[in-house]
Amino acid sequence: EAQLVESGGGSVQSGGSLRLSCVPSEHFVVKIYMGWFRQKPGKEREGVAAFYTADSGTHYADSVKGRFTISQDNAKNTVYLQMNSLKPADTAIYYCAQSRVWGPPLLIGTYDYWGQGTQVTVSS
């Protein structure tokens, strides 16, 4: 089964930055959205950012607007999540995901393939 591989997680202090990367293990022909989700301890997984591959449109959760940026490098077949002005509330496991179908871009059910997750820890 196709997998996505995330990297770039780690520990930073509040106000710091991290950049997450996501590389599909196989090259997909059909790719509607690429998304980033996160799951905080004891909480449900939530959508953070999504990238619409057809027109490079982006979608963000209100909690990260203005601080996080999702982007894609087609040459490297890599999707990035640049996270700036990080807060302790951003501490979570972050997951990359890919969809082959239309749907709400920040909804878990829209996505078919998931990475294994990468831990992001922000200390105050």
pLDDT for 123 = 97
Distant-in-sequence, close-in-space partners of 44: CB < 8 Å, separation ≥ 6 = none
pLDDT in tens, 28-49: 666 789 999 999 999 999 999 9
Long-range contacts for 60-64 (Cβ within 8 Å, ≥24 apart)?
61/106, 63/89, 64/90
Q: What are the tens digits of pLDDT across the range 41-99?
A: 999 999 999 999 888 899 999 999 999 999 998 888 899 999 999 999 999 999 999 99
- Token output for 83: 């996270």
Of 79, 96, 102, 80, nearest in space to 32 by CA: 102
- pLDDT confidence of residue 32: 86
